[in-house]
């Protein structure tokens, strides 16, 4: 990349590193940060309260019924799983392709991945009728069940994502341990425990790089399988609208798209609140991510067409009722808004260079993210309203589904929880990996550790 | 006090419990002023392989629905309503209570059979009297002592059943002609009829039919044939059953296979192999990676070597 | 004892007195009834209808109970969860539903609701108004659980809570179920229902041991469905829906002995299917249901719309 400023000599390199490290050191929350955390905490507290109500009174506090037995908890779960795929995209795919501008993005995308997958696991427990029996899954697990596969891949992906976050984080934690002054004792202690005695030794760097290479290779199939298996929760049933062989690819494509959008949105917000970050998240990064997002959106568009056009062409018996509801029925406004605002409009805007400037691309990313959430709502709920047998002898309330306040509150709390986790990470850890940045700028490792350890 | 009593009665033995129960029931306000209800009493008899029984059903109408009357004491009398008379075994024979469905079945003791060996027509009376909730009810039933003789014969591959029904007239057993005597095979939930539909007995009181050769028998290589006469006039059933050896067995259940719908222990082998090896591979690598973290810590502890 | 009696009079309200009576009544009845029938248990759930009915105690006294408490419980034959996974040996239960005889009398559903203690919003058995094409006449189609031989619901259960027995029954162990509701999504026949909140059921049921064979006592946060009444089958009796039907719509029996019975008549199972062109609903899905239908031709009753909403 042309605009990458590379140091002329060692002194310059050391100066550069010094400045970089100072730039990315975690900072205390300002007024905005405190307000933000406060809002998130209120949303979470409200959600926790509602969850306690749900435990007491059962799932009857939701809008679910025997007809629509899976609702926004499940669509939200699918959304979280989708977002979490970004970790593997930015870190692994771009790493293996040796893309040069990826370094500043890796950590933020891994943090998004780890928090999303954690809350995916939590929200699925929230959906259970008997959360007290969650251990039955391990005591009596049936390998034939896609849910068991999902539990296995979610736990595996969570572990791998965590490791992929942690290994490159070690030098940064060590830097915080050694150079952050005026911090509370517990914070210093946390850094020294988490840094695992990191001393910037060449041998240590070698181990880290080896681990990253292994993880980058390994995370791709696991990431693909986590989203594919999640799609199988639906595709293994007979229900019109879910009974699709296209579902795995369709879900994966959608996940890549929303994941990329999530990283773009995070970049924009970090740049906004940490002014010095515009050196790391440059306009060039937005441009590149914009191109990537267009590419991924096109892939998703392709699968979407496959998913709806072909069944829509046939209008096969039971499927027809479901599709009509989406195309022209009560779900039509949501369906077309999601397709147009969440996919077509972003594609068109991002095709133009001006559209890939930070602000417009941020707006487009937010559209993609909101669209992605409702897209999953449309995948889960309308299908359940169209079983093979007609809806007869069911209560009027079981012929529709609208989430209750409790459901919205718990769902919002899970989203807020994921955002809070990301926020707290940014508060306590450097969100850009300096040593990877240095590598990108061809600053040799020995410079890094000599510089750091001489200090 | 209430708690104590509840607690007590929960733990107390059955006998004590019944006594307590009496106490509680006596205080029931419902007892004080009851308008007596009416109930219907229906009787039917059954003679199965010579064993006689009388079945009573007591029902009452609540909101247009017939419901069985539970715990109603019924007395069974023979010939006349009076205490038991050992000399001619007449009078009160037994007293039992109806069950939850309002049913009660009277079975007879060997002693009864011994004493009535010469008797072939019975007039039973069942009644419920002096009940606090219901008006007195009473009903009669006549039981005719039919005798059915069932024979099963096998010629080559075809088995046939012959049933002969006879009736006592003036202490003499004579064949009952022109009677609808049904032949059937006993199955789990009912009698599977065979032979001509609506067949009646000939002048010898006999019906005959081939047993369908393809009917599965019992697991113990036998088949149970039943000959049955329904005495519609008096409301009773007389039947006789007989086992015969039988070659065709019930279709055995499929041996449980390893399928996707089996239990976890019976998962299909290829699925188990694939999942277990994938999990082992991936988690093996993860464990290795965790060991790398430990290695990093060790490397940090070593003294700088230069 | 007389002192005690007075204390009782003061402290026992009608409800708890009845509860004790019920608890003991069951035991006492078990001893005194010679007829070997089933024991009826009166509930003491909160009064619903308010209407009182006088009934007799085992010793002939009169007590009054709420009309809504008149529910029967068969507790004698339902095995606990640990034993209910074994099928009844040698049996393979099947059902044949003759659509030409159904006139939507709904006795089947009523009997089912009563014996499984179901509130009106949960139905194990439904009677659907079906119409195969616009020109064809509509007909009534009763639908219990189809007890598939390749059950999609059992396939997806993560914890072995729902299982297929050797006698063909698909049952649920609600002491195992985690309430993920995957089986409900997987069932193509909308058979399963969920206990969204704490089920309303007679209090004396709460202390009973749970049995997958009677699906009682019902448990919050778990899935339920039609169980083909194994507690009845064990006594050689027909399921409640079958015996309640006034028109002989339901035939039930054992495919291994090739016989089905609708309460009145007993016929050969395979011959019946041959003669009347029996079919299975949505055969194309490959789930191989144990429930067969006989087409709604030459019907006994003309089709009449359901007058009022039964729910």
DSSP per residue over B140-175, as a string? EEEEE--EEEEEEEEETTEEEEEEEEEEEETTEEEE
% of chain A residues with pLDDT over 70: 96
Of C188, C106, C96, C94, which Cα lies nearest the Cα of C140?
C106
CB C295 within 8 A of CB C282: no
Task: Report the residue count for chain B.
Answer: 306
Question: Is B258's pLDDT higher than 80?
Answer: yes
Best residue of C63, C91, C149, C178 to probe chain B, by most B CBs closer than 10 Å: C63
Helix, strand, or coil here: C94? Answer: strand
- The closest CB to that of A143, out of B261, B267, B297, belongs to B267
Q: Decide if B261 and A144 are in contact by the 8 Å CB cutoff.
A: yes
Q: Quickly count: other Cβ atoms within 10 Å of residue C256's Cβ.
A: 22
With beta carbons under 8 A apart, name residues in chain B contacting C259: 187-190, 192, 215
Tell me how far apart the alpha carbons of residues A273 and A135 are, in angstroms, rounded to a whole number: 42
Q: In percent, how much of chain C has pLDDT > 90?
A: 58
pLDDT digits (tens, 9 = 90+) for B58-106: 998 887 778 888 888 898 988 877 777 777 767 888 889 888 888 999 9
Q: Cβ–Cβ of A392/C123 closer than 8 Å?
A: no
Interface touch B297/A196, C-beta < 8 Å = yes
d(CA A174, CA A455): 13
Task: Decide if C178 contacts C158 (C-beta within 8 A).
Answer: yes
Among candidate residues A371, A344, A410, A315, the one with its CA nearest the CA of residue A83:
A371
Q: Is the dihedral of CA A305, A311, A315, A320 positive or negative?
A: negative
The Cα A7–Cα A14 span in angstroms is: 9
Q: Which chains touch C (3 or more CB pairs under 8 A)?
A: A, B
Picking from B104, B256, B261, the nearest residue to C155 by CB comes out as B261
Greater confidence (B258 vs A9) lies with: B258
State the pLDDT at residue C31.
37
Q: What is the pLDDT of residues A303-359, one digit of tens each?
A: 999 999 999 999 988 889 999 999 999 999 999 999 999 999 999 999 999 999 999
pLDDT tens sequence across B149-187: 999 998 888 899 999 999 888 888 899 989 899 999 999
Q: Per-residue pLDDT for A182 more than 60? A: yes
Other beta carbons within 10 Å of A32:
10
* C interface test, pick of A123, A129, A135, A234 with most C CB neighbours within 10 Å: A129
First to last CA, chain A: 31
Tell me how crowded residue B248 is: count the other CB atoms within 10 A of its CB: 14
Contact B30 C39 (CB under 8 A): no
Strand partners, C96: C251, C292
> Are C237 and C220 in contact, with CB atoms under 8 Å apart?
no
Measuring CA to CA, which residue among A118, A75, B268, A336 is closest to residue C185? A75
Chain C residue numbers touching B256 (CB-CB < 8 A): 166
Instruction: Answer yes or no: are the C-beta atoms of A368 and A343 closer than 8 Å.
Output: yes
Closest C-alpha to A415, from A356, A355, A369:
A369
Measured between alpha carbons, how far is B16 from B3 in angstroms, rounded to an integer? 18
Q: At what angle do helices A202-235 and A445-454 cross, to 10 degrees?
A: 110
- Chain A residues with CB-CB distance to B296 below 8 A: 170, 196-198, 204, 207-208
Examine residue B80 and say whether the peptide bond preceding it is cis (omega within 30 degrees of 0).
no
What's the rounded Cα separation, in Å, for the pair C261 and B30? 44
pLDDT tens for C102-152 read 999 999 999 999 888 888 888 999 999 999 999 999 999 999 999 999 999
Residues 259-298 of chain B whose Cβ lies under 8 A from any Cβ of chain A: 260-264, 267-268, 271-272, 275, 279, 282-283, 285-286, 288-290, 292-293, 295-297
Beta-bridge partner residues of C72? C40
Nearest to C178 among A65, A66, A137 (CB): A137
Mark yes or no for CB contact C179/A59 under 8 Å.
yes
Q: Which residues are registered as beta bridge partners of C293?
A: C97, C279
pTM across the whole model: 0.86
Sheet arrangement for strand B73-78: B91-97, B73-78, B121-128, B137-144
Give A49-55's long-range contacts (Cβ < 8 A, gap of 24+). Answer: A49/A409, A50/A405, A50/A406, A50/A409, A50/A410, A50/A413, A51/A126, A51/A410, A51/A413, A53/A406, A54/A126, A54/A406, A54/A410, A55/A131
pLDDT digits (tens, 9 = 90+) for C236-290: 999 999 999 999 999 999 999 999 999 999 999 999 999 999 999 999 999 999 9
Residue C126: name the closest of C109, C138, C113 by CA. C109
Say yes or no for a CB contact (<8 Å) between C164 and B261: yes
Find all residues with CB under 8 Å of C244, minimum gap 6, and list them.
Answer: C107, C108, C110, C111, C112
Render pLDDT for C198-220 as a digit per residue (tens, 0 to 9): 988 877 677 788 899 988 889 99
Do A250 and A82 form a contact (C-beta atoms < 8 A)?
Answer: no
Using CB atoms within 10 Å of the CB of residue A189, give its burial: 0 to 12 exposed, 13 to 18 middle, 19+ buried: exposed
Interface of A with B (CB under 8 A): 140-144, 149, 152, 156, 159-160, 163, 166-167, 170, 196-199, 201, 203-204, 207-208, 210-211, 214-215, 218, 222
- Whether the CB of C29 is below 8 Å from some CB of chain A: the reply is no
Please state the rounded mean pLDDT for residues B22-48: 69
Confidence at B135, pLDDT banded by 50, 70, 90: confident
Least confident of A218-232, A252-266, B18-32, C155-169: B18-32
Q: In chain B, pLDDT over 90 holds for what percent of residues?
A: 41
Q: What is the Cα–Cα distance from C183 to C152, expressed in whole angstroms?
A: 7
Overall average pLDDT of the A151-157 stretch? 95
Question: What Cα–Cα distance (Å) separates residue B252 from each residue in B217, C166, C255?
Answer: 12, 10, 10
Q: Is C162 helix (H, G, I), strand (E, B) or coil?
A: strand
What does the mean pLDDT of chain B come to?
A: 84
Q: How many CA atoms lie within 13 A of A116 on its CB side?
A: 29
Note the ipTM here. 0.90
Strands B181-186 and B172-175: unpaired
> Would you say residue C50 has pLDDT above 60?
no
In chain A, residues with a C-beta closer than 8 Å to the C-beta of B290 are 163
CB pair distance less than 8 Å for A129 and C179: yes
- Distance CA(C161)–CA(C171), nearest Å, equals 8
What is chain C's alpha carbon radius of gyration, rounded to the nearest angstrom?
Answer: 21
CA distance B162 to B199: 12
C185 touches chain A (CB under 8 A): yes
């Amino acid at each position: 990349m042309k605009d990458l400023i590379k140091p002329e000599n060692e002194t310059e390199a050391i100066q550069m590193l010094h400045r970089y490290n100072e730039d990315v050191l975690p900072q205390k929350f300002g007024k905005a940060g405190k307000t933000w955390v406060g809002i998130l905490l209120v949303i979470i507290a409200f959600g926790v309260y509602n969850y306690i109500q749900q435990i007491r009174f059962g799932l009857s506090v939701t809008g679910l019924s025997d007809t629509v037995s899976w609702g926004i908890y499940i669509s939200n779960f699918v959304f979280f799983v989708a977002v979490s795929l970004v970790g593997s995209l930015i870190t692994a795919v771009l790493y293996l392709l040796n893309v040069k501008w990826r370094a500043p993005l890796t950590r933020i995308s891994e943090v998004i991945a780890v928090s999303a997958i954690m809350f995916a696991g939590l929200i699925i427990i929230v959906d259970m009728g008997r959360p007290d029996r969650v251990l039955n899954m391990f005591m009596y697990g049936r390998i034939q069940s896609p849910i068991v596969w999902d539990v296995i891949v979610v736990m595996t992906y969570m572990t791998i994502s965590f490791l992929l976050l942690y290994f490159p984080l070690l030098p940064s934690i060590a830097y915080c341990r050694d150079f952050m002054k005026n911090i509370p004792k517990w914070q210093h202690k946390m850094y020294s425990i988490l840094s695992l005695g990191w001393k910037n030794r060449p041998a240590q760097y070698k181990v880290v790089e080896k681990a990253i290479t292994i993880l980058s290779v390994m995370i791709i199939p696991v990431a693909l399988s986590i989203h594919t298996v999640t799609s199988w929760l639906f595709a293994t049933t007979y229900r019109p609208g879910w009974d699709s062989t296209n579902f795995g690819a369709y879900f994966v494509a959608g996940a890549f798209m929303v994941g990329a959008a999530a990283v773009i949105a995070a970049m924009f917000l970090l740049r906004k609140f940490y002014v010095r970050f515009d050196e790391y998240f440059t306009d060039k990064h937005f441009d590149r991510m914009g191109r990537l997002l267009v590419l991924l959106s096109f892939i998703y568009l392709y699968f979407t067409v496959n998913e709806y056009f072909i069944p829509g062409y046939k209008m096969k018996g039971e499927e027809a009722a479901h599709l009509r509801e989406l195309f022209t029925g009560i779900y039509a406004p949501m369906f077309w808004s999601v397709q147009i605002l969440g996919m077509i409009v972003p594609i068109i805007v991002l095709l133009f260079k001006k559209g890939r400037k930070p602000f417009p691309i941020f707006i487009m990313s937010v559209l993609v993210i909101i669209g992605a959430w409702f897209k999953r709502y449309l995948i889960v709920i309308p299908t359940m309203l169209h079983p093979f047998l007609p809806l007869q002898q069911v209560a009027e309330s079981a012929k529709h589904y609208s989430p209750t306040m409790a459901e919205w509150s718990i769902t919002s709390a899970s989203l807020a929880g994921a955002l809070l986790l990301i926020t707290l990470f940014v508060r306590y850890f450097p969100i850009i990996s300096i040593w990877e940045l240095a590598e990108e700028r061809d600053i040799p490792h020995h410079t890094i550790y000599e510089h750091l350890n001489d200090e | 006090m209430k708690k104590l009593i509840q607690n007590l009665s929960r733990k107390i033995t059955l006998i004590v419990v019944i006594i307590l129960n009496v106490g509680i029931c006596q205080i029931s306000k419902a007892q004080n002023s009851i308008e007596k209800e009416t109930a219907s009493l229906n009787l039917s008899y059954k003679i199965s392989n010579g064993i006689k029984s009388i079945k009573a059903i007591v029902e009452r109408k609540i909101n247009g629905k017939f419901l069985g009357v539970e715990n109603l004491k019924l007395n069974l009398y023979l010939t006349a309503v009076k205490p038991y008379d050992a000399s001619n075994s007449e009078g009160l024979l037994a007293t039992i209570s109806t069950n939850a469905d309002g049913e009660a079945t009277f079975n007879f003791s060997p002693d009864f059979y011994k004493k009535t060996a010469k008797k072939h027509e019975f007039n039973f009376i069942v009644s419920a009297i002096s009940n606090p909730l219901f008006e007195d009810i009473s009903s009669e039933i006549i039981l005719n002592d039919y005798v059915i003789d069932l024979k099963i014969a096998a010629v080559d591959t075809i088995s046939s059943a012959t049933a002969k029904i006879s009736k006592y007239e003036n202490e003499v057993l004579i064949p009952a002609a022109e009677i609808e005597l049904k032949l059937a095979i006993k199955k789990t939930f009912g009698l599977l009829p065979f032979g001509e539909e609506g067949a009646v007995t000939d002048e010898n009181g006999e019906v005959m039919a081939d047993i369908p050769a393809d009917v599965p028998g019992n697991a113990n290589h036998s088949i149970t044939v039943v000959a049955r006469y329904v005495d519609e006039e008096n409301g009773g059933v007389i039947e006789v059953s007989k086992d015969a050896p039988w070659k065709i067995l019930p279709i055995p259940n499929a041996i449980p296979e390893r399928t996707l719908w089996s239990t976890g222990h019976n998962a299909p082998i290829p699925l188990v192999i694939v999942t277990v090896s994938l999990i082992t591979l991936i988690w093996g690598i993860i464990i290795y990676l965790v060991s790398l973290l430990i290695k990093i810590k060790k490397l940090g502890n070593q003294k700088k070597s230069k | 004892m007389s002192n005690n009696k007075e204390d009782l009079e003061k402290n026992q309200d009608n409800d708890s007195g009845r509860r004790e009576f019920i608890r003991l009544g069951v035991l006492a009845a078990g001893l005194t009834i010679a007829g070997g029938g089933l024991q009826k248990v009166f509930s003491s759930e909160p009064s619903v209808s308010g209407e009182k009915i006088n009934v007799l105690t085992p010793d002939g006294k009169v007590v009054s109970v709420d009309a809504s408490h008149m529910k029967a419980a068969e507790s004698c034959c339902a095995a606990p969860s640990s034993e209910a996974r074994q099928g009844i040996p040698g049996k393979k239960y099947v059902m044949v539903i003759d659509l030409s005889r159904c006139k939507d009398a709904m006795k089947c559903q009523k009997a089912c609701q009563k014996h499984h203690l179901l509130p009106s919003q949960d139905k194990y058995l439904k009677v659907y108004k079906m119409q195969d094409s616009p020109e064809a006449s509509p007909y009534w189609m009763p639908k219990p659980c189809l007890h598939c031989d390749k059950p999609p619901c059992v396939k997806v259960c993560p914890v072995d809570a729902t299982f297929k027995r050797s006698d063909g029954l698909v049952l649920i162990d609600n002491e195992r179920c985690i309430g993920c509701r995957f089986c409900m999504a997987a069932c193509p026949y909308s058979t399963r229902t969920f206990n969204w909140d704490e089920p309303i059921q007679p209090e004396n049921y709460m202390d009973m041991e749970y049995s997958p064979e009677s699906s009682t006592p019902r448990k919050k946060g778990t899935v339920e469905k039609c169980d083909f009444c194994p507690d009845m089958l064990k006594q050689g009796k027909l399921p409640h829906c079958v015996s309640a039907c006034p028109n002989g719509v339901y035939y039930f029996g054992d495919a291994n002995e090739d016989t089905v019975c609708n309460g009145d008549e007993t016929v050969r199972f395979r011959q019946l299917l041959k003669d009347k062109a029996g079919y299975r609903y949505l055969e194309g899905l490959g789930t191989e249901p144990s429930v067969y239908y006989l087409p709604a031709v030459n019907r006994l009753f003309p089709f009449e719309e359901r007058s009022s909403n039964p729910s």
